[in-house]
Amino acid sequence: MKSLVTAVALQAILLSAYLPLTAASAAPSSQDLVSVIEKAKVLSTGTRVAASVNGAEAYVSTYRNARATDDDCKIEAILVAKTIMDLAPADISRVTVYFYNALRLNKRKEVAVTAGDVKAFGAGQLSQEQLLASIAIKDTELNDPAARLSAYLQQRESARTRKKIETYMNGETMEVVADLDPDMSERDVKYEALRIAEKAMEKAGAKTSRVKVSFADPIAKGNFKEISFDTAQLVSYDKSLQSALYNIQINPVTAKIDIQALEVVDGAAKDERSLVLKKLQGLDKQGVGIGPFIKQFFDIEQMVSNGNDDQATEAVKKLTVSVQEQEARTKGAKAPKPVAATAASGTVLPVAIVYEKDGGYRGRNPDGLGGGWSPEDMVKAPEQYVKEKEGMLGGKESADANPNFSKTLSWLYWNLVKNGKTAEAEKYGRRWMANQARYRFPLPKQ
């Protein structure tokens, strides 16, 4: 007997087949496809979905319910295809859906649906049975180890995000009930129980002396796997784990970020975050240093992902103001023609930072950042002097964008030249000139 979902789902397609559609103004992105599928709720709540577009064909990957038949997969594929084609009728004419096996991630079922399939059924040219019979479903296998691993990790992350967890106190025992993932090994269960127990003890505080974790079998209802820990056991296990992990090294690696390829995540203040990202991308194209701004942008994206909407909304407002100020500083900036003068040594130097007669700097330390260094100390350790000033401003990029740091470089340059260290002064002079050209800082007064 056909399942009820078959009749209901296909009737829904039939009823909506002739509703007017509004074509998207641009070809949909992968994220657009995922969003529209999730909003349409054509798959079970919490089911992980990934999508991509290649020309007129869309590809969707998801997970097959353990009890789903081939016809069930076909129905879901038709619903997914209909949803995508409604979004972009002029752009997408074929949708291929891959249903992965959650327990054997190298196995998957493949269903391809064309716009003609959906239209023919909607026009009454095909019955439900004929439509299902006309759509092929294939069993395929992933032989690429990297692809299998990617599918596994996505499935694990999806299971974790939709896992139902309940907690309650029973005297001094914190009891936690969580869903058991179908593919968890005995070791996985122990690791997960230990992780949950440590967090439970951390949050519960001194009132809790014991944590009992119960994993509910999602298939065999009423069956549980229980593991209990007391405070002493958790402390002992933590010490053992710390000892075992001690020799594993964590190597910090900074990868180059393609600013132009960044996209904002869905969530609070998305329009505002999209606008500030566009501004940052524009500054990046102009060659303006935006490192500190990008860090703030990533922090805000993390706030949104964690559900801290109010905090993210306030933070993006502040970032927007800072980026607008940076835009104002760089708008219309043109490299000034350097004016040169000849120092006593005969070396040609930027005139704005040459003070032959001590007129501008006599008797004071105008480094723009509070001083603290005598000219003698500065000349002895110029690199250390600059590093300290950069640290006060949050790093090299943010220092270069600060007008007071420009004064710092001017002051250092002049003192090095005055003490006969012209060659050593050159790199600071060049850096000063580059910042003047980029940010249009006012010249030091002589």
Instruction: Report the distance separating Cα 429 and Cα 443, nearest Å.
Output: 13
Residue type, 432: W
Q: Which of 74-83, 89-98, 298-307, 344-353 has the lowest mean pLDDT?
A: 344-353
Two structure tokens written together for 249: 């090294």
Portions of the chain given CATH number 3.40.1350: 163-245
The DSSP 8-state label assigned to residue 217 in this structure reads P
With a CB cutoff of 8 Å and minimum separation 6, the contacts of 345 are 417, 420, 422
Eight-class DSSP state of 319: H
Q: Please tell me the distance from the alpha carbon of residue 174 to that of residue 260, in angstroms, as a whole number.
A: 48
Residue 338 has what pLDDT?
Answer: 41
Inter-axis angle of helices 270-285 and 309-330, nearest 10: 30
> 120 Cβ partners below 8 Å, 6+ apart?
126, 131
Residues 32, 36: Cα–Cα separation, whole Å: 6
Predicted local distance difference test score (pLDDT) of residue 19: 42
pLDDT at 355 over 70: no
pLDDT bucket at 284, cuts 50 / 70 / 90: confident
**Predicted local distance difference test score (pLDDT) of residue 227:** 93
- pLDDT at position 212 is 92
Q: Does 325 score more than 80 pLDDT?
A: yes
Task: With CA atoms as reference, report the closest residue to 280 among 327, 318, 313.
Answer: 327
Contacts of 344 (CB under 8 A, 6+ apart): 356
- 327 vs 441 pLDDT, higher one: 327
Q: What is the mean pLDDT of the chain?
A: 76
> What is the dotted CATH code of the domain comprising 163-245?
3.40.1350
pTM of the model: 0.38
Q: How far apart are CA 325 and CA 321, in angstroms?
A: 6
Q: Which residue has the higher pLDDT, 192 or 365?
A: 192
Cβ-Cβ contacts under 8 Å for 83 (sequence gap 6 or more): 36, 37, 40, 42
Does the pLDDT at position 151 exceed 60?
A: no
Pairs from 116-124 (Cβ < 8 Å, separation ≥ 24): 117/78, 117/81, 118/13, 118/17, 118/78, 118/81, 118/82, 118/85, 119/17, 121/10, 121/13, 121/14, 121/17, 122/13, 122/14, 122/16, 122/17, 122/18, 123/17, 124/14
What pLDDT score was predicted for residue 369?
Answer: 66
Provide the percentage of residues in the chain whose pLDDT is more than 90. Answer: 11
| pLDDT score recorded for residue 143 | 65
Which of 123 and 280 is assigned the larger pLDDT?
280
Distance, CA of 38 to CA of 34 (rounded, Å)? 6
